[in-house]
Structure 1
Amino acid sequence: MSTSMRAVELVRFGDADTAFAIRELPRPAPGPGQVLVRVLATSVNPLDLQTRRGDYRDQVVLPAVIGNDVSGVVVETGPGADDFQPGDEVWYLAPMFAGQGTYAEFHVVDQALVARKPARLSHVEAAGLALVGVTVWEALVERAGVRSGERVLVHGGAGGVGSVAIQVAAALGAEVVTTARARDHEFVTGLGADTAIDFSAGDYAPQVRALGGVNVVLDTVGGDTLARSPEVLADRGHVVSIVDIPEPQNLLAAWGVNATYHFLFVSPGRAKLEAVGRLVDQGGLQPVIGAVLPLADVAQAHALLEGGSGRPRGKIAIAVQSWMTSTSPPRC
């Protein structure tokens, strides 16, 4: 096996079309407790856009390989890494801002963060689910404690996180309300949403209150969502936000409904991946892959994700191997 690999490096902060360069880099070697994985697919997340723009420049030293999702095959194990063998198909969420990212042909990771890939998913599908799946599980299950019979409001239901959150909330037995553009209403109700509200056509809050309010709000869109959530929350409800908050918001109204706020920057871990994988294998969750691009087109993938109302539904995946570029990904 070659001692080098192809990777896409972030060479400057800024616009996608000038930020990246394709490089030949040394192939990493696994240390104690680590596995070397041939990356078959990764994906692009809003976190990657923020990193590329320079939002985390204090934690990223250029040039850097970024990216966090992986689905691939173990090719080598380090000393003491006995949980996996070469040939095992795995998926995981790489640690953020720690070592090499996943826009590369190979990646080294601690075996404790790795899980076996769900058999029902292709590598492209698994790579599109790793970060968003763990994020939704931590948000709805570990933070908000969603229970059967509750009502959950998912902001941005047609997006990468939102499309997974609708399915997970429905699988937990919750009634799901989501905000989405009118053209996406059939799509989000097909995922399991009971009610879809067109946020672009007027104020969503009166429509949610007419339903009786909600027990949980999942904020994937930012803006004034935190300040306005008490308008739709039932008493002792939960708000979980996965969005950076650039400007202060007045949360005084939250006292009136005894609201609990959770601010989530997700952490990787095998247990959460296995929980998401079980839901997949039970038929309760299917990732939505809106586009698949080759590794060389990472810049284009970033531009697609930044495309506003014209961006694809669900996730944008990166097929690291050229034979995996179909929008109907092969099972491999």
Structure 2
Amino acid sequence: MRFRPLRSAPAFDGERMPVADPPATMKAVVFDAPGNPDALRAASVPVPSPVISELLVRVVAAGVNPIDVKTRGGAGVSAQIPSYPSTLGFDFSGIVVKSPYEAHPLPPGTPVFGMAAFPRTGGTYAEYAVAPTLSVARKPSSLSHVEAAGVPLAALTAWGLVVETAHAHEGQRILIHAGSGGVGHFAVQFAAYFGAHVTATSSGRNAAWLRELGAAVVVDYTTTRFDEVVAQVDVVIDLVGNVGGDTGTRSLRVLRPGGLYVVVPTGSWPGYADAAEAAGVRATSYKVVPDGGALATIGRLLDSGAVQVYVDRVFDLGEAAAAHRLLEDGHTRGKLVLRVSAD
């Protein structure tokens, strides 16, 4: 039997966008060395080339995350940046331009969202980015690219915390610090979706909104010490740590014996493991896993309306420094997103 070569991509049952060949260079926001937000500058850089199982994606929008801010400032993953100038950014939503092979399930023209492998590759504050196929999923059809760009890193972090680490279930009592932030607002929704009793800390202005997302109790940290009104919870998801205070230390006091403390911000409390052991509770840190399968599941929840993403502000690509300043102020609700190119 003779096999005929496949001459075109397989039929696609959803949206497909026309695709143009990429140019040699692209607009990007780079920084030449760690520094303050003014270190970010516009530049023209070469369009990256995908290798083996990578996709080349035309970026329509890019999410802005705290890890971007930390990295730009010299912390985060800055030690792993191989050379400068460097382009920041993990999150993206856009259109596939090149796939690894003709019959790939994400052919050119497919709207996708996911995470780039920054800093191993260039980031997503650019018109084009490469991403591992296993870190990408089809964009939820109900979301715009701007909305979808606010999902991957924050939602995957929340999913890993709530579903894969805490194993959220009916009747479980979960306390989530910084519930109104990018990761927090997803964590509240996932925990409530799986039946947990959710208590969230936030400023008072976000209390009603968090209740709409599924929090049973919201503690205004500006007026009330959470450890005076919360007790015997099964899990604490700490998106603050002990930086600038003692949130982590007090969190151990509200856990039941054998409960689980999960701290997320890297370096926010170096002594958490010893303190948890002394308090008779379990503890772990957590780092996001860019899992395209989990992201596809999250996408279905978004399309069903069971979960939503909240985008607080949208900036043009050239306004990345302003987005970083706003995120550093620490009072954003949900996500900040960069609009990179036309939809």
2:115 to 93, 97, 100: 93
Amino acid across the alignment from 2:189: Q
Aligned twin of 2:144? 122
The aligned length equals 317
Q: Cα deviations across residues 73-107 of structure 1 (Å, max 9, x unaligned)?
A: 11122347712111101011122421111000001
- The 2-side partners of 1:214 and 1:81 are apart by 49
Larger Rg: 2
Contact 1:44–1:301 (Cα < 8 Å) also in 2: yes
With the length of structure 2 as denominator, give the TM-score of the two structures: 0.87
2:247 to 219, 222, 225: 225
Q: Cα deviations across residues 253-310 of structure 1 (Å, max 9, x unaligned)?
A: 63476422121111212122122112212321100100000101000000010113xx
Aligned twin of 1:160? 182
Question: Which deviates more from structure 2 when the two are superposed, residues 53-62 or residues 284-293?
Answer: 53-62
After superposition, the Cα gap between the structure-2 partners of 1:267 and 1:22, relative to the gap in structure 1 and judged at 3 Å, is same
Aligned twin of 2:5? none
Question: Which deviates more from structure 2 when the two are superposed, residues 311-320 or residues 224-233?
Answer: 224-233
Aligned twin of 1:66? 88
Amino acid across the alignment from 1:202: T
Contact 2:169–2:194 (Cα < 8 Å) also in 1: yes
Aligned twin of 1:14? 35
Aligned twin of 1:263? 285
Contact 1:130–1:273 (Cα < 8 Å) also in 2: yes
Contact 2:201–2:219 (Cα < 8 Å) also in 1: yes
Q: 1:112, CA displacement in angstroms?
A: 2.1
RMSD of aligned C-alpha atoms? Answer: 1.8
After superposition, the Cα gap between the structure-2 partners of 1:44 and 1:81, relative to the gap in structure 1 and judged at 3 Å, is farther
Aligned twin of 1:48? 68
- The 1-side partners of 2:36 and 2:274 are apart by 38
After superposition, the Cα gap between the structure-2 partners of 1:87 and 1:203, relative to the gap in structure 1 and judged at 3 Å, is same
Aligned twin of 2:8? none
1:299 to 321, 333, 340: 321
Aligned twin of 2:126? 104
Aligned twin of 1:320? 340
Aligned twin of 1:216? 235
2:217 to 178, 192, 195: 195
Contact 2:273–2:283 (Cα < 8 Å) also in 1: no
- The 1-side partners of 2:230 and 2:335 are apart by 27
1:249 to 261, 271, 284: 271
Structural mapping, 1:272-283, within 5 Å: 272-283=294-305
Contact 1:31–1:79 (Cα < 8 Å) also in 2: no
Aligned twin of 1:328? none
Q: Cα deviations across residues 172-192 of structure 1 (Å, max 9, x unaligned)?
A: 111110111112211211211
- The 1-side partners of 2:274 and 2:329 are apart by 34
Extract unaligned runs of 5+ from structure 1: 324-331
